[in-house]
């Protein structure tokens, strides 16, 4: 029973994470992705990369964005998320 709950929870989490993927989230010339959407897209970048293999409409980076602020949020999420993983891995080895 515990395995079923874990599997269902992970499936639900995956659906929630991919619900606002870049290139698939309804942004256009009039509604551009901003700073916070850039953070979100940076956090889900690994999932989006895998998803892009099966659906070419999904992009890893939103083409309709506000420019510098979107890039800054995306970069913060990528560096913050993966940098934190790197630090935690180094602490475990000591």
Range of the domain at 41: 2-93
Check residues 34 and 21 and name the one with the higher pLDDT: 34
pLDDT tens across 51-72, in order? Answer: 888 888 788 888 878 889 989 9
| Number of domains the chain is built from | 1
Spatial CA neighbour of 45 closest among 66, 20, 69: 20
User: Which positions ≥6 away from 72 have C-beta within 8 Å?
Assistant: 35, 38
Judge whether 8 and 37 are in contact, CB under 8 Å.
Answer: no
| pTM, 2 dp | 0.64
């Amino acid at each position: 029973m515990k395995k079923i709950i874990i599997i269902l929870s992970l499936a639900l989490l995956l659906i929630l994470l991919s619900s606002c993927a870049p290139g698939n989230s309804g942004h256009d010339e009039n509604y551009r992705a901003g700073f916070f959407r850039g953070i979100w897209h940076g956090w889900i970048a690994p999932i989006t990369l895998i998803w892009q293999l099966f659906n070419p409409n999904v992009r890893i980076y939103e083409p309709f964005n506000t420019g510098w602020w979107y890039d800054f949020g995306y970069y913060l999420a990528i560096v913050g998320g993966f940098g934190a993983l790197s630090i935690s891995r180094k602490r475990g080895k000591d």
